[in-house]
Amino acid sequence: MKVRFRIFQLILVNLFTLSLIAQNNSPENRIIVLGEAKIEVPADQILFTISLQATHPSDVNAVYEQHQAQEKKLVALLKNLKIPDRNIEYSLMSVNKEFDYETKEPSISSSQQITFHIDSIQLYTQVQTRLIKEGFTEIDSDFTSSQIHKVEKDILEQAITNAREKATILANASGRKLHKVVKIADIDENDPAYNYSTAPPKVATLRFAGISTDDSTLLNVVQFIQLATRVKVVFSLK
């Protein structure tokens, strides 16, 4: 009889414990907030994106030969410009069979993208001119910064700090207190709770560098890369 009573006591204790856990994890005992942070870093690099393309009506070997010739020419040019290998990235070449509905003619084409960055903004015009003179006209360029990777941790920590401050205000307003972080997650763009229009994650803003008027060009206007991040933080409440 005592054994049965002991088992019954254990069952009651377990049920009570599970009930407390369920209460602590219930929506009434949690608060979900969005933490945002922005950091500006000076732009000190130029990022180039080169598109290579080759086409032939029917001969895939001819497409490969054309494409490889462009690759070799670009590699030689990058070496001549003294672009380090660590500054170069590329996609694999893709080959597609296409059909032009206007001319009613089929064709085979290749495509590939190569990106590289230079560490001096002042060399932008020189590098772009060389690329065009060598026949590479499919060029995109943009500002970037060598400090982006260095501040990624800082901006994430700031976003979580901002989320805690926001959650503290909301909890105090409702007569509750924050307990601990239950979950931290990146914001899913499909999350209906946080799906709203925002600025792109990187926005370049202008600020004049204070140079003399005689040698002023747009390249002497300081550019800043604005990095923004958002995190969803779930706190439990006391």
The reported pLDDT for the residue numbered 98 is 86
What average pLDDT score do residues 169-194 get?
76
Residue 131 clears pLDDT 90, i.e. is over it? yes
Give the residue with greater pLDDT, 144 vs 7. 144
What average pLDDT score do residues 124-137 get?
95
The reported pLDDT for the residue numbered 28 is 67
The reported pLDDT for the residue numbered 206 is 43
Residue 94 clears pLDDT 50, i.e. is over it? yes
Residue 133 clears pLDDT 90, i.e. is over it? yes
Give, for 19, the enclosing helix (H) or strand (E): helix 2-25
Please give the sequence-ordered ranges of beta strands (E in DSSP) within 23-83, or none if there are none: 30-42, 45-56
Give residue-wise pLDDT tens across range 11-21.
444 544 444 44
Backbone angles phi, psi at 103, to 5 degrees: -90, -10
Cβ(22)–Cβ(78) below 8 Å = no
Provide, rounded to the nearest whole percent, the portion of the chain with pLDDT above 90.
50
The reported pLDDT for the residue numbered 201 is 42
Q: Does this model's pTM top 0.75?
A: no
Range(s) of the chain covered by CATH 3.30.70.2970: 45-144
Please state which CATH class domain 29-42+148-237 belongs to. Answer: alpha beta
The reported pLDDT for the residue numbered 135 is 94
Cβ(178)–Cβ(117) below 8 Å = no
Under CATH, what is the fold of the domain 45-144? Alpha-Beta Plaits (3.30.70)
Tokens 């254990």 belong to which residue?
10
Give residue-wise pLDDT tens across range 198-217.
334 444 444 444 444 455 67
Question: What distances in angstroms separate CA 154 from CA 130, 139, 160, 164, 184, one per listed residue?
Answer: 38, 33, 10, 15, 16
Cα separation, 222 vs 44, in Å, equals 9
Tell me how crowded residue 185 is: count the other CB atoms within 10 A of its CB. Answer: 11
Residue 70 clears pLDDT 80, i.e. is over it? yes
What average pLDDT score do residues 5-12 get?
48
Residue 167 clears pLDDT 80, i.e. is over it? yes
Tell me how crowded residue 93 is: count the other CB atoms within 10 A of its CB. Answer: 16
Q: Predicted confidence band at 5 (pLDDT cuts at 50, 70, 90)?
A: very low
The reported pLDDT for the residue numbered 188 is 57
The reported pLDDT for the residue numbered 200 is 41
Range(s) of the chain covered by CATH 3.30.110.170: 29-42+148-237
Cβ(234)–Cβ(164) below 8 Å = no
Residue 56 clears pLDDT 90, i.e. is over it? yes
- Averaged confidence pLDDT in the chain: 81
What average pLDDT score do residues 39-51 get?
94
Q: Predicted confidence band at 126 (pLDDT cuts at 50, 70, 90)?
A: very high
